[in-house]
Amino acid sequence: MLTLKDIHWQLPGGEEILKGISFSLEPGKLKVITGPNGSGKTSLAKIIAGLETPTSGTIDMDGTDITGWDITERAKAGIGFAFQQPVSFKGLTVRNLLEIAAGRHLDEDTLCYIFEHVGLCFGEYIDRHMDDKLSGGERKRIEIATVLARDAKYLVFDEPEAGIDLWSFSNLINTFQRLKETGKHAMMVISHQERILEIADEIIVVADGQVRTSGTSDILPQLLADEKGPWCPLRKDV
């Protein structure tokens, strides 16, 4: 289990972005973090991945305090993270990238399986270069594929729906459900998307750096009713 306890995070200028966030990620469960733009969701994901260090509070992974660990140590220990804005890696092919993520050679069956989950055609993409010729949606799907290739215990996805088409999005929902059902992965997905919120075991609404409310998908009707308010926009357009 990955447990965040009273996480605070302050910018160098003194502005507090996260103001005491606590929750756990458990194997076999999907937690969806939602809330308004700028409320601190990506900051939270970066703190879990080890890209930022909390000002105070602790992160415990399976009984070990990993608060001071960097991104490499956390990746090795089993935390996989897909960024909101995927990056290009000049000089690497898609195959290279997936094998680096997995830390081993991947046979064609495994690669096909991963590609199928993110809605990419294996033959068309496997030897493509990870450069700017790939569209944003293609890079996004390849980035999600790297997280699947790593087969990490803790999976963090930041707005996986951003920029991907309807068919790939449906595939992705099925993938999240299948990953959940294996019972091996503890998943956190940052999303504003109703179909992702519907499959959550717990929805955690973050607003102004704090947990505003949380609950099972039973709280969804209330969140949708509040959609007209300024604090929790939920998108239904994908």
Ligand X SMILES: Nc1ncnc2c1ncn2[C@@H]1O[C@H](COP(=O)(O)OP(=O)(O)OP(=O)(O)O)[C@@H](O)[C@H]1O
| Contact residues for ligand X, defined by CB under 6 A | 11, 17, 37-43
Shortest distance (Å) from residue 43 CB to ligand X: 3
User: Residue 51 is encoded by which pair of tokens?
Assistant: 């890209």
**Per 3-state DSSP, what percentage of the chain is helix, strand, and coil (rounded to 5)?**
35, 25, 35
Shortest distance (Å) from residue 177 CB to ligand X: 24
Shortest distance (Å) from residue 229 CB to ligand X: 16
Cβ-contact 37, 29 below 8 angstroms = no
Pick the closest to residue 139 from 151, 125, 157 (CA basis): 125
Q: For ligand X, which is the closer residue by CB, 93 or 210?
A: 210
Q: For ligand X, which is the closer residue by CB, 175 or 191?
A: 191
Q: For ligand X, which is the closer residue by CB, 114 or 206?
A: 206
Between β-strands 202-207 and 56-61, what pairing exists: parallel, antiparallel or unpaired? unpaired
Shortest distance (Å) from residue 227 CB to ligand X: 15
Shortest distance (Å) from residue 12 CB to ligand X: 8
Q: For ligand X, which is the closer residue by CB, 38 or 183?
A: 38
Q: For ligand X, which is the closer residue by CB, 41 or 141?
A: 41
Query: 48 Cβ partners below 8 Å, 6+ apart?
Result: 2, 4, 59, 74, 79, 81, 154, 156, 188
Query: Which amino acid makes up residue 160?
Result: P
User: Residue 58 is encoded by which pair of tokens?
Assistant: 């602790």
